[in-house]
Chain A
Amino acid sequence: MSTLLFYIFSLLTIVSAIGVVVSKTPINSILSLIATFFFISCHYILLNAQFLGIVNMIVYAGAIMVLFLFTIMLLNLNKDSEPQHNNFVKVSAVIASGMLLIVLLSAFKDTININHNTLAVVHTNQVGLLQNLGTVLFTKFLVPFEISSVLFIAGVVGAVVLGKKEIGE
């Protein structure tokens, strides 16, 4: 059952991701992106990471996408401002991504006969619960958890100093 669901969600994720890239209007791209995030959240839940799935939905599909939508509407993008691409870039991009595909395929090929004992993901439906996640965060990963606050300080300070209007501007 879950295998079938995995393939369905994977297909939908890829289709909507392609939609982000190919759609002509920005609004359609954004909507496809939201769809992509949705399906990725579904993948999280399939992997028993319920909390992450929900957070992903709230933060990305909710908050950040709304921001994107606002930004695009405010900027009023039109056809003229679309970046121009010449054929050379297109051809080389196709070749490059094709090669990347081959490389990654060949890399992932031998994960098929992977030793399941060394697999990182433990398949119990308890692992993604908030309680377990919290326990790990506040014991094993306490230091990174605390240090990440410094990251946020840097981000907040940056946002304020760069965004603030100076007196007289």
Chain B
Amino acid sequence: MNSIILLSLLTVINLFAGFSKNKNLSFILSFIGIAASAILLGILWNGNDVTNILAPNFINHMLSFDNTTIVFGVLLCVNASLIVLLLHSHEEPMDIPAAEFLTLVLTMLVGALCMVSYTNLTMLFLGLEILSISAYILAGAKKRDYRSNEAALKYYLMGAFTTGVFLFGVALIYGATGSFDVTEIAKYAALPNPQSIYYVGIILLMIAFAFKIAAAPFHFWTPDVYTGAPTLVTALMSTLIKTAAIVAFYRLFNTCFAGATNWSMILMIMAAITMFIGNVTAIVQTNVKRMLAYSSIAHSGYLLFALFALGNNSGASLLVYMAGYTFASILAFAGIIVVQHNMHSNDLNAFNGLGKRNPILAVCITIAMLSLAGIPPLAGFFGKFYIFTNALKADYVAISLWAVLMSCVGVYYYLRIVINMFFKSAEPDAKEFILPASYQIVMGICLCLVVLLGVAPGILSGLI
């Protein structure tokens, strides 16, 4: 809770910091604030809540900080701070001032933290809305770029529609159970004959979450929005929002609806379609950003495995998967921003000959791609490994085979970039790109983490 309060206050303070002559002030504030909130989360480890300044029972009915929450919360903080660092170098110029951009990142983080810690559907709704509204605005952060405008508007319209669906679902569940509290709902779920509106409510919530994590057939916004939005925001959307949404999804279905089985079949079919559409469509893309958008869709399909094959290890496997995915994605998007800045293009051909020109950058992107493809010994492999092992243990054999097949398809398009970088020659007058310091730092951190989590995934999976 303290971390949420701190970040909320910081959003306002940050706006004032924008008036300062010192352009770095808001960056420093945001960065320190995010780090401090990560620490504030961390000290709650094992229910060690000694610093609560508010009367606890108001909070405990709304938010709870167990170890799962804390680990994911810290992951979100790290994620946000990496994005803040990337913003600092102005490699990708935005049309809105940095202080405002950072404020929106902070509000987004507040929303995300609410979504991983809620115990009441009102908090979940508020978190989701804070996250989404910040995201709509950030998607339009390049005001003078009509594609960015288009992305923001599309995202907003479809998101608003989904909010309606979500609220309708919440209303139906409230109607059936008489409570917003997840423990109360879980009690109702354990009763023998739940009403039909309760099921309809669950399905509607599920659809809303599927939209947020970009699972088919509710993924239509993803390619357009991811491609149109500023690349940094795309990175934010495909990592932070996805983490928050999948964790909220997992928390709700793990605590409340684990008993009801009829949704797991629907989720399984959704996962199958998602993996198919994501991977197969990604193959024919020539724009790298769009390709990663489809890859992001495909990853949602794998993430759904943790939900329909709920088990004791689901949380741990989600954590390993999301951590690996997050760091590899940020690494890849950072690389794309650099290429975009220097070549003014996101096309696959813009990567030609990068291996000769900027070997270190090319190796970073390669590692990111290999991790996303799930090649051992990188983090992505263990994420997939955990998720598939879980599903196999729960006897989901056919879908696991399908997933493995789709992963193989995935390898094809991930390696296309690598081939372009190392085996195609660039235009002769191409110069070496200069990586700003913050990019070097972020990419270094992500690279280390991707390799480290691949070598020793036990560090994470042992936590929860």
Contacts and interface: CB of A to CB of B under 8 A. Distances in A.
A100 to B, nearest CB: 11
B103 A153 contact: yes
Nearest to A122: B178
Given A120-B174, A147-B126, A107 B200 contact: yes
B136 to A, nearest CB: 7
Interface string A127-169: 0000000000001111110111111011101101110001000
B96 A111 contact: no
Nearest to B149: A162
A162 B137 contact: yes
A94 B409 CA distance: 38
Nearest to A154: B107
Contacts of B152: 162
B120 A103 contact: no
Interface in B187-206: 188, 195-197, 199-200
Contacts of B129: 151
A106 B111 contact: no
A141 B180 CA distance: 11
Given A107-B196, A114-B195, A161-B97, A119 B8 contact: no
Contact of A144 (B107, B126, B175): B126
A69 B114 CA distance: 36
Residue in B104, B108, B199 with the greatest tally of chain A CB atoms within 10 Å: B104
A118 B200 CA distance: 18
Q: What is the size category of the interface that chain B forms with chain A?
A: 35 or more
Contacts of A82: none
Contacts of A151: 107, 126, 129-130, 133
Given A140-B61, A157-B100, A157-B137, A147 B15 contact: no
A151 B135 CA distance: 12
B130 A120 contact: no
A104 interface: yes
Interface in A80-133: 103-104, 106-111, 114, 118-120
B197 A118 contact: no
Given A153-B11, A157-B103, A158-B136, A147 B143 contact: no
Contacts of B177: 118, 120
A142 B134 CA distance: 22
B320 interface: no
B248 interface: no
A109 B196 contact: yes
Contacts of A141: 62, 122
Contacts of A143: 1, 58-59, 62-63, 123
A114 to B, nearest CB: 7
A135 to B, nearest CB: 13
Contacts of A155: 133
B110 interface: yes
B140 interface: yes
B126 A157 contact: no
B178 A120 contact: yes
A153 B136 contact: no
B12 interface: yes
29 contacts: A107-B172, A107-B199, A108-B196, A110-B196, A111-B195, A114-B195, A118-B177, A118-B188, A142-B58, A143-B62, A144-B120, A146-B8, A147-B114, A147-B123, A150-B8, A151-B129, A153-B12, A154-B11, A154-B103, A154-B104, A154-B130, A154-B137, A155-B133, A157-B15, A157-B100, A157-B104, A158-B137, A161-B137, A162-B137
Given A120-B177, A150-B110, A158-B134, 20 more contacts: A107-B172, A107-B196, A107-B197, A108-B197, A109-B196, A110-B196, A111-B175, A140-B61, A149-B8, A151-B126, A151-B133, A154-B11, A154-B104, A154-B107, A157-B100, A157-B103, A157-B107, A161-B97, A162-B96, A166-B143
Interface of A: 103-104, 106-111, 114, 118-120, 139-144, 146-151, 153-155, 157-158, 160-162, 166
